[in-house]
Structure 1
Amino acid sequence: MPAASKIFCGFRALGYVSNHVPLEVRLKFKEKENHVITCVGKAFHTYNCSKLGIISVSDSHPDDITCIAVSGNLVFTGCRNIIRAFHRGTKAVKTLKHNDNDICLLLPFGNHLLSVDSESNITVWDYKTEEIFLEMEFDPSHFAISAMVHPSTYLNKILLGSRQGLLQLWNIKHDKLLYTFPGWGQSVLVLEQAPAVDVIAIGLEDGQIIVHNIKYDKTVMKFRQDWGPVTSISFRTDGHPIMVTGSSAGHIALWNLEERKLQCQMRDCHTTAVTGMKCLQSEPLMVTSAADNTLKVWIFDMPDGSGRLLRLREGHSAPPNKVSHYDANGHNILSAGQDSTLRSFSTLHDKHNKNLGRASFDKPASKHSGLKKDLHMMPPITQFTSECSRESDWDNIVSCHRGLSLTTTWNYNKSTMGKYKFNHERFKTDPRYKNTTATAVNITSCGNFVLIGYSSGHVDKYNLQSGLHRGTYGKQTAHDCSIRGVVVDGLNQVTITAGQDGTVKFWKFHKPELIESIQLPSDISHVLLHRESSMAAVALDDFTVSIVDVDTRREVRRFEGHDNRITDMTFSPDARWLITAAMDATVRTWDLPTGKLVDCFLIDSAVTSLSMSPTGDFLVTTHVDNVGVYLWSNMTLYSFVSLRPLEQTYEPKIMVMPGTSIEKDVKEESSDEEEEEEEWNIYKTPEQISNELVTLSLLPNSRWQNLLSLDVIKARNKPKEPPKKGKAAPFFLNTIAGITPKFDLKEDDDDKKNESKILEGRLLPLSDIGSGLLNSKTDADYEKVMNKFKILGPSAIDVEIRSLVPDGGGSVDVMVQFVKFINHSFTTNKNFEIAQAYLALFLQLHAEVIAHESSVIEELEKLSMKQCEKWTELQNLFTQSLCLINYLRTATL
């Protein structure tokens, strides 16, 4: 089945930290460190508590995760009606499925796992054998299970809480109800085991916290928080009798159990309900999470006993409106969300992420009042522009806000709001412009000026360094309608403004004089300029896109195909592509030279903003009702893609949105053996990637590069003087030179001179490699000979090749087999460089013998043809790669 897109494929999602599913904490005994597990939709993340650094990301689920539980090294997740067991937080090793009801709660219980579905049915699994141990059915109208806990030291027993307020103690081994607690007339939301045996903390919907002794059915103490339902409970175990409770308002209360009173309050810890809360074992630390996409670590070191924020990991708490790449490397992505914050996400590592803060009319007053009750918070950012050329000198980001004529500046290096807020006096004093809003903004390429367009038709120019007003375009207004776009060319010569009525005007930048104007056939939505190519894309309200050449001031292309409002556009770095997104949930790629649509795909959620990396490797998108920032990889950089124009009747296909890690296929069936997991984790490098490519031997260069220069090396390393005879001992015995003097007990050299020496002819034995060559008939035989050659050093290889000729102990047949051996290496494309070196040495040493042997010449002619063929293929690959590199280098300049 063809892919939904020829150009893009899902890479991963950024900006996800946690959601409404409660977190889990696992203690790693070997590392002596706590790990926090949070849910991010279809996957879960594992963080360390020491730095909140991400350790692992699980495989993606087919749907959102509804609950998480931890037991030892296994992490259990509930997704729809399927339970999965993950080992090391990455790969699912077991899958449990019973009925068609969604899983709501999970509770590990020794070697068993308890699951509660949406119909309040309990299934007890033996997760090692994947068998069902017990099934328990409840009537949701009388006892709808909302919480459960295993009381400490209670063998085979669980305590169940219901929405009706009743509690029941069950023995799951014998399927027997032991006791029913009448409750307190409110739904039970949380059950938590206290450090004391027999004592359970119960959180109710009306804000009551009941500390109850289940052995005697007696309430030990009772508290009430005034912030609504109790969403989470935890106990400190570091020697302080403190119980911590979370509320739906985002506040946290600390209760002193010895004095039976409220110890202190921690307000505005989260902007939504505190759904996850765990006090770390024997440490003054607490980890909390909420649906506001934040994970926080608190340390209890304040004078009143409350917690101080120690570490924080966060993303957008509301869907982002606008996304754009910041620098020329494409490593940082600016994102403005509906939570009025401006953030920077790094594509390299999460440690480089930045939070530039939340927009505020009065920053000091906002810090004093707290973020949740901030009366000075500004409306969300609708548009922003950035320029990094003068980022070290002054503010380099300017943003527009919903419903405001005021624009704000931001400093990327300092990660904070800037010192200027641009707002002309006319909008403060003239009642005609009371409801004016800033609609477009653009910073010049030099980083000195910013141009702001308003709904009143005004276009103002400000200096970013001084914050002073530097002029207005037009006598009174640049347009008689709302400004939809304002851009400046790369040389600060021409300013282009676009009005809602379809008029595009060209102005002199320094002297605001009108040069020319053109009329487009429909109202304008927004404008995008590619400064290097002087091409401006103009989105129109009739769902079309016009391409205007800034140099000739003419419309040169028009693209039609979207069925709904165009939300955003972006150019590729070389301006060959224009990528557009619309509310019809499609992303379309248009080829500017041909004026044709070359790629189109559908997404489940419509794109609100998109940006192409300056290096062309990633496309970044944001989506409706989605807090993540999604990366899509450009496949044309890694493989050949045929960009033929799509047909008029082409129907786009839905592309699955990427997860927080590289997408893998989720296996619905459980694995039968544990060995499969080890095979998954260990990657074995193939011996050869493709038969069409040349494979090198990976031997050190010293083994083969100097084979043709051995004579020169030996002559250079020859000692200048012959070795001198050592001084004789003080008596008649000769001595052997060395570190330790030894006596020479051998016979005189005269006896050696008389020995006969037979150094030539066929009397020399055939070497091991020569015997292997003679007996080589199959590929495996040639591989054995090559492995023997690889073991030898340069001098030994020289001796072996010298011994192939008849005078060295070899024969003509051995020489023919050696040529066939080299031919086999060229045919298989393996060990290419050492085969070339061996052949060169063979020809250099035995040229005279080869000239008189016709059989060797015949094999060498075959070898010559094979070598020319392979070298031509290799040269074509080199040429293709060099052309591609030169093209990419010139296209990105």
Structure 2
Amino acid sequence: MPGDGSLAGARSSLFSGFRVLGLYSNHVPHALRYHQKHREFYVVTAVGKSFHTFNVNRLGIVAVSNSLPDDITCVAADRMLVFAASGRLISAFARNKEVVMSYHGHQQEVRLLLPLGEQLISADSGGDVIVWDVQGGDVYLRLQFDPMTFDVSAMMHPSTYLNKVLLGSSQGALQLWNIKTSKLLFTFAGWSAGVTVLQQSPAVDVVGVGTASGRIIIHNIRLDETLMSFTQDWGPISSLSFRTDGPPVVASGSPQGHIAFWDLENRQLVAQQRHAHRTAVAAATFLHGEPLLVTNGADNAIKVWIFDQEGGGARLLRSRQGHSAPPTTIRHHGNDGKNILSAGQDGTLQSFSAVHERYNKNLGHGSINKKKEQKKKKGMSYTELRLPAITALSSAVTRQSDWDGIIACHRGRAAATTWNYQRSTMGAHHLQPPGVRRDAVATAVEITSCGHFAVVGLSCGRVDVFNLQSGLHRGCFGDEERAHDGVVRGVATDNLNQLTITTGSDWLLKFWRFKTRKQEVQLKLNTAPAKMLLHRDSGMLALALDDFTLVVVDIETRRIVRKFAGHHGNINDMTFSPDGRWLVSVAMDCTVRTWDLPSGWLVDCFLVAMAPVCVSMSPTGDFLATAHVDSLGVYLWSNKSLCGPVGLRPLPSDYQPAVEMLPGVTADAAEEEVTSEEADDVYQSAEQLGVELVTLSLLPESRWKSLLHLDDIKKRNKPVAPPAAPAAAPFFLPTVPGLTPRFTLPTEQEQDTQSKVLSAGLLSQRSEFSSALDSALQSGSFDRPLCLLKDYGPAAISVELTCLTPEGGGASSLLLAFIRMIDSMLARGRDFDLAHAYLVLFLKLHLQSVSQDSVAMAALVDLLPRMEAGWAELQASFDQSLCLLSYTKSALL
């Protein structure tokens, strides 16, 4: 197909970014703030170019900020605003989302922020310390330091020290400055080690100093006297926090992920929390007046610890954590499409919910079998007991309530592990193939549709079958216990457990009988396959080859039915749509391509900034999930075809896809463009969708159904006894006679000569509806009288229609005007129920008068065909719907 230049750079027609799962924190220390009105603590963590706000009580996400141009390097918060620095720019956020002020002035990257009342103090890597006016954004003070002699590495405001700030340096010295007078008040010599943390203690004049050598110094800055010091054996001090709810304890964080708790009264180590985080502890902060500690780290985790253990120890109260290393495999679990299994390079297996974060599960890290290798564990470290990262996994929900329903193979190990989704733990079995070489590695796994068996392919060419309930080995494929001459690249089983399909690096695709494990047929491929995926419902088998092409094989005819070429890099993963119509593939060329199997064409393609390594489509077809290189999250893309009609057409071979921003990291400029574009194309709903359709009014049924039963209602509501007159009425206000009561005051002449006989002009005064109806007959627009009738109640409508005749104060022309109004309502097809209800009441009241008026009678006769035609079309639709409903009910029975 020739190239079409008009298609170059077009956006994806099928998928649009929705949101990212599993991103909670990075290496930037968190900021803690207290909301006076809500009486609740909130923790702010940076995630790339934006920050997230969580409430500490439930660790539920409250807000996600707008994106900044660069990654956030530090965050700080006061009572009203959240400050975030990205590069040389500092931004102030209101309501945890919107940028309300930007501060420009730094020439180097900002790495420290300190809110102080109406001022904001910032320090960059070039030695500049700037004091900003928060409201106006002006520079209040600028201090310049030589990074070679005093490199600012920590900042703190000493409590009760007005307009004072304490600066720490990487050379070890401390300086106390007055930011109002711009004077250096005192210089502390330091402790021959760089200052990493400065923290105010609950006692006035006493601060905690953390150094790069691992020392913690409790120092009195008024007397320049060191009160006590502690030494941490885990490297530099990454964070310090003092407990304020009673016990005199200070917590210190380390780059190895450990947290130490020091008793200031007894001057000793009281407790320690080892492996609190998998990476360095970015920040640890005690909540004011509560026995809770909030920590975050670069392992993508936020944790809340509670101190209720004997001896002053802490336990984990709640946490939000994702992968600390990029995911390697993602697969949807179950048939509802709500849960995504994700295996990361950190060795953990997690389940992310597409509905809400509270449904997330962490199945943990695989470990060595304790019973069989108890002797080998002696002297082994904590990390040596863990299994390597998962390279491939398969899951089934058929029998997951009875036994393990997930199987996974690990990097460099021949044994496959089982996992239990419901208990969120590692399973009971290590599926070790018997008699294999030591260098053999499990490369592919598959669980049968019945959930009873697991098929494991190895790098030595073996394909073994295990029973998932007992973990026993049930046999091998091949005559000499070898299915392929090379590495097994993929295994699959069909819906009925009759067929097993394997492929390997020997360029062969083989079909086996599952029960007898005998080979039926084999296909020779053009090159070695890298991945294999079977869509069980349609019987389509997709193979990704090493020459960057895709082939689709029909397992019924055992023939190649489709070949796709277009990727310019290794194909990392692929997935089928639920109906088997589309095949979505991702490759190292950073493209996500959608192939239409019936037509054999590429129908959608888009680029992403980071190469996708795995992809999975929801069993319901609503979302596409992707994981990318050097990214810790799982990204969801919504399927546009489920929301409305999507026009797909074959894309040319020279198609140039456009770059789609990953969900959650959209730039501000793109958001503004989308917003303005959507504002221009806002859809305006029509008043009437079609000529053959009718529209009912939005009025309640009591406003028009009661019109036919007004006599019965009056008879039912008739009082038993006549109302009794009051003993003495205080006064009476004169009113103007007519349907609409109006009060009037007599003039001076009328006070002298008042007549007891009313004139005919006062009696013949028309109501507002009658006047509007008369005017509408002249203009031809009956909107005004119709609106008046809609505002009236049933009793008022009856009175208005009664007064249309000359006997009631109206005129014969009003009868014709009312019929014309009903005719216009039926012609437009709007207020269908009101038109019939008003006409029935009108004929009930004035049928005799209309029959004596030839003009009104002729208009009424012309109205009859329109009524019959409208009701006939409506009745036909009713009959058709009732017929389909009856047929459906009979088919189900």
TM-score scaled by length of structure 1: 0.84
- Partner residue, 1:490: 495
- Partner residue, 1:467: 471
- Partner residue, 2:422: 413
1:230 alignment partner, SS class: coil
Take 2:290 and 2:641, find their aligned partners in 1: how far apart are those partners? 51
1:12 to 2:9 alignment:
no
Deviations along 1:765-802, whole A, 9 cap, x unmatched? 533233334446999x9776555444333454455456
The amino acid of 1:460's aligned partner reads: D
Take 1:270 and 1:157, find their aligned partners in 2: how far apart are those partners? 34
Q: 1:86 to 1:863 in 2, by over 3 A?
A: farther
The amino acid of 2:528's aligned partner reads: D
Deviations along 1:449-488, whole A, 9 cap, x unmatched? 2211112222222222232323322212222222111111
Q: Determine which of 124, 130, 144 is the counterpart of 2:131.
A: 124
Q: 1:155 to 1:762 in 2, by over 3 A?
A: closer
Take 1:248 and 1:234, find their aligned partners in 2: how far apart are those partners? 16
Take 2:325 and 2:175, find their aligned partners in 1: how far apart are those partners? 40
Q: 1:817 to 1:3 in 2, by over 3 A?
A: farther
Take 2:139 and 2:381, find their aligned partners in 1: how far apart are those partners? 47
Q: Determine which of 487, 497, 501 is the counterpart of 2:506.
A: 501
Q: 1:799 to 1:211 in 2, by over 3 A?
A: same
Give runs of aligned pairs for residues 656-671 of structure 1, distance below 5 A: 656-659=661-664, 665=668
- Partner residue, 1:243: 250
**In terms of mean alpha carbon deviation, does 225-234 or 637-646 score higher?**
637-646
- Partner residue, 1:345: 352
Cα offset, 1:254, TM superposition = 1.6
- Partner residue, 1:457: 461
Take 1:148 and 1:369, find their aligned partners in 2: how far apart are those partners? 46
1:10 alignment partner, SS class: strand
Cα offset, 1:761, TM superposition = 15
- Partner residue, 2:109: 102
Give runs of aligned pairs for residues 224-623 of structure 1, distance below 5 A: 224-362=231-369, 373-427=382-436, 433-476=437-480, 477-623=482-628
Take 1:132 and 1:696, find their aligned partners in 2: how far apart are those partners? 63
Take 1:859 and 1:275, find their aligned partners in 2: how far apart are those partners? 86
Take 1:723 and 1:789, find their aligned partners in 2: how far apart are those partners? 28
Give runs of aligned pairs for residues 613-762 of structure 1, distance below 5 A: 613-659=618-664, 665=668, 689=685, 699=698, 701-703=700-702, 706=705, 710-711=707-708, 715=712
Take 2:157 and 2:379, find their aligned partners in 1: how far apart are those partners? 39
Confirm or deny: 8 A CA contact 2:10 2:657 kept in the other structure: no
- Partner residue, 2:171: 164
Q: 1:141 to 1:449 in 2, by over 3 A?
A: same
Q: 1:386 to 1:169 in 2, by over 3 A?
A: same
Take 2:565 and 2:819, find their aligned partners in 1: how far apart are those partners? 64
Take 1:777 and 1:64, find their aligned partners in 2: how far apart are those partners? 69
Take 1:536 and 1:356, find their aligned partners in 2: how far apart are those partners? 30
Take 2:45 and 2:250, find their aligned partners in 1: how far apart are those partners? 22
Take 1:28 and 1:146, find their aligned partners in 2: how far apart are those partners? 29
Confirm or deny: 8 A CA contact 2:48 2:71 kept in the other structure: yes
Q: 1:148 to 1:827 in 2, by over 3 A?
A: farther
Take 2:442 and 2:847, find their aligned partners in 1: how far apart are those partners? 84
Take 2:773 and 2:618, find their aligned partners in 1: how far apart are those partners? 56
Take 1:371 and 1:854, find their aligned partners in 2: how far apart are those partners? 104
Take 2:126 and 2:826, find their aligned partners in 1: how far apart are those partners? 68
**In terms of mean alpha carbon deviation, does 84-93 or 482-491 score higher?**
84-93
1:30 to 2:37 alignment:
yes
Deviations along 1:275-316, whole A, 9 cap, x unmatched? 111111111111111111111111222222122222222111
Q: Identity over the aligned pairs, expressed in percent?
A: 46
2:238 alignment partner, SS class: strand
1:769 alignment partner, SS class: helix
Deviations along 1:834-879, whole A, 9 cap, x unmatched? 66556765886678949943899499889969x989x99x99xx99
2:523 alignment partner, SS class: strand
Confirm or deny: 8 A CA contact 1:148 1:158 kept in the other structure: yes
- Partner residue, 2:742: none
Confirm or deny: 8 A CA contact 2:826 2:866 kept in the other structure: no
- Partner residue, 1:729: none
Take 1:777 and 1:657, find their aligned partners in 2: how far apart are those partners? 62
1:771 to 2:771 alignment:
yes
Cα offset, 1:547, TM superposition = 0.9
The amino acid of 2:336's aligned partner reads: N
Take 2:142 and 2:489, find their aligned partners in 1: how far apart are those partners? 63
The amino acid of 1:706's aligned partner reads: K
- Partner residue, 1:178: 185
Deviations along 1:529-560, whole A, 9 cap, x unmatched? 11111111111111111111111111111111
Confirm or deny: 8 A CA contact 1:268 1:372 kept in the other structure: no
Give runs of aligned pairs for residues 214-233 of structure 1, distance below 5 A: 214-233=221-240
Q: 1:480 to 1:668 in 2, by over 3 A?
A: closer
Cα offset, 1:163, TM superposition = 1.8
The amino acid of 1:247's aligned partner reads: S
Take 1:778 and 1:202, find their aligned partners in 2: how far apart are those partners? 90
Give runs of aligned pairs for residues 805-884 of structure 1, distance below 5 A: 810=810, 814=814, 832=831, 841=840, 849=850, 852-853=854-855, 857=859
Cα offset, 1:658, TM superposition = 0.8
Take 1:21 and 1:325, find their aligned partners in 2: how far apart are those partners? 31
Confirm or deny: 8 A CA contact 2:9 2:657 kept in the other structure: no
- Partner residue, 1:61: 68
Cα offset, 1:827, TM superposition = 10
1:771 alignment partner, SS class: helix
Take 1:86 and 1:301, find their aligned partners in 2: how far apart are those partners? 36
The amino acid of 1:357's aligned partner reads: G
- Partner residue, 2:791: 791
Take 1:823 and 1:688, find their aligned partners in 2: how far apart are those partners? 27
Number of corresponding residues: 828
Confirm or deny: 8 A CA contact 1:704 1:834 kept in the other structure: no
Q: 1:713 to 1:241 in 2, by over 3 A?
A: same
Take 2:497 and 2:576, find their aligned partners in 1: how far apart are those partners? 20
The amino acid of 1:97's aligned partner reads: H
Deviations along 1:390-416, whole A, 9 cap, x unmatched? 221111111111111101111111111
- Partner residue, 2:78: 71
TM-score scaled by length of structure 2: 0.84
Cα offset, 1:97, TM superposition = 2.6
1:351 alignment partner, SS class: helix
1:426 alignment partner, SS class: coil
